[in-house]
A = this chain, B = another copy of it.
Amino acid sequence: MAAKPEPGRDDRSVGLVETQYLTFAEPPDEMVLTSGAKLGPITLAYETYGQLNPARSNAILVLHALSGDAHVAGRHTPEDRKPGWWDEMVGPGKALDTNRYFVLCANVIGGCKGSTGPNSINPATGKPYGLRFPVVTIQDMVAAQVKLVDHFGIDQLYAVIGGSMGGMQALQWAVAYPDRVRHCIPLATTHRLTAQGIAFNAVGRQAIMSDPGWAGGDYYGGPGPTRGLAVARMVGHVTYLSEEAMRLKFHRKLRPDQESYHYAFENEFQVETYLEYHGKGFVGRFDANSYLYITKAMDYFDLGADWGGLGNALARADARFLIVSVSSDWLFPTSRSRLLVQHLQAAGKDVTFVELQSPYGHDAFLLEVEALTALIEAFFAADPPRES
């Protein structure tokens, strides 16, 4: 896919981009998942920005979070209202500088943005998988990404980078494929969720599965669990914001059309309107079953479990690490990142750690562009891509 900047429009944009597809694991060579189940064929939807250098040493794999997709930067059509989800970080002269790096990102398996997931057609039945889709793990997501990296003939990624669930994948890459990752940048993440994290995910899943429209997962062709998914998203949304961010943005302000309490069960506070708006908007762009599968994958992830403890796991890594937490992130708090740093240091690894001072909570990894850019540029400058 060629990135075509439109002259005069935005010279720091990758311009118009197109989603590509890679299909592999065709039967009888299905991929064997962590659970032991087999999945195939598998399609990954992906996008790339910039050019792979002759040495194939300048590739950066971006790993998306729960609701993300392969469309990181640029626009699919000139009319697109919004660019990709991390456009401010990927482009000419940006942190992931497409003049220097070949940036790629794939939608995770289990997702609903073009990669194989519960809304894909089950070749065994000719109908959407629904809950017959096998449960996938972070390990499985990364194993599928390995196929994409192989497809490009890339032996070693210059960097893997992602926030939240993307950070889990970055850690998994560095530990499970140590010779294939030169830099690892996990943002606002953890090696495993706490009970509180699992609890919030479980509440979201209950909201979806409690909606009669969910119908055991076989709702394709109908509206599906629209209200349950909106509630799940609202729960998640509150956890991604800090108390401070919500206070700064909303405090106790009423809706603009309202001067005093109405004493009724409509939304009255701006924060209510905001959450409901975004909850309902999410329904139009996300599949409820994918929400179930992806949150489940996050719950299962426990980086140390496969390698006899977190210390042993991280000792496997060969990458340089840049670990970033956010001061106001209460869902993936700084203490979780510190634990990673301590184990990496104990194993003698090259690790840089920064706690971003930001009021924006977990979402800060999407918002604190300037600070992240400075950190990443300095981190990369110390060890640029090899020319051959």
Residues of A within 8 A of B (CB): 34-35, 37, 131, 134-135, 192-196, 198-200, 202-203, 205-207, 209-212, 227-228, 230-231, 234-235, 238, 241, 243, 246-247, 249-252, 261, 263-265, 267-269, 271-272, 275-276, 279, 292, 296, 299-300, 302, 330, 333
CB pair B300–A198 under 8 Å, yes or no, is no
When distances are taken between beta carbons in the complex, the residues of chain B under 8 Å from A251 are: 195
Beyond the given A37-B263, A195-B271, could you list 8 further A-B residue pairs with CB under 8 A, ordered by the A residue number?
Answer: A135-B265, A194-B243, A199-B238, A199-B275, A203-B234, A205-B265, A206-B231, A265-B292
Q: Are A199 and B131 in contact (CB under 8 A)?
A: no
The closest CB in chain B to the CB of A225 belongs to B210
Q: Known: A206-B234, A206-B279, A252-B192. Is A199-B263 also a contact (CB below 8 A)?
A: no
Q: In the complex the two chains form, what is the Cα distance from A37 to B196 in whole Å?
A: 41
Complex alpha-carbon distance, A147 and B4, angstroms: 75
Contacts of A206 in B (CB 8 A): 227, 230-231, 234, 276, 279
Closest B residue to A243 by beta carbon equals B196
User: Are B247 and A195 touching (Cβ within 8 A)?
Assistant: yes
Cα-based distance from A266 to B296 in the complex (angstroms): 10
Instruction: Describe A's contact surface by its main secondary structure.
Output: helix
10 residue pairs of the A-B complex, CB under 8 angstroms, read: A34-B263, A195-B269, A196-B238, A198-B272, A199-B272, A202-B234, A203-B235, A206-B227, A207-B231, A265-B296
Kindly list chain B residues whose C-beta atoms are within 8 Å of the C-beta of A37. 263
Return chain B residues, CB-CB under 8 Å to A200.
238
Q: Which residues of chain B come closer than 8 Å to A276, judged between CB atoms?
A: 202, 206
* A136 and chain B: residue at smallest CB distance: B263
Most central of A207, A209, A243 by chain B CB within 10 Å: A207
Question: Whole-angstrom distance between the alpha carbons of A212 and B227 in the complex?
Answer: 10
Least distance between A297 CB and chain B CB atoms (Å): 10
Tell me how far the C-beta of A109 lies from the nearest C-beta in chain B, rounded to whole angstroms.
14
Say whether B196 contacts A210, CB under 8 Å: no
The 5 closest A-B pairs by CB, nearest first: A35-B263, A210-B227, A195-B246, A135-B263, A195-B250
- Docked Cα-Cα span, A131 to B263, in Å, equals 12
B203 touches A271 (CB 8 A): no
Expressed in whole angstroms, the minimum distance between the Cβ of A269 and any Cβ of chain B is 5
Of the listed residues A195, A227, A228, the one surrounded by the most CB atoms of chain B closer than 10 A to its CB is A195
The answer to whether A210 touches B238 (Cβ under 8 A) is: no
B contact residues around A250 at 8 Å (CB): 195
Which of B230, B243, B261, B272 contacts A300, CB < 8 Å?
B261
Q: How far is the CB of A170 from chain B (nearest CB, A)?
A: 21
Q: Which residues of B contact A203 (CB under 8 A)?
A: 231, 234-235, 238, 275
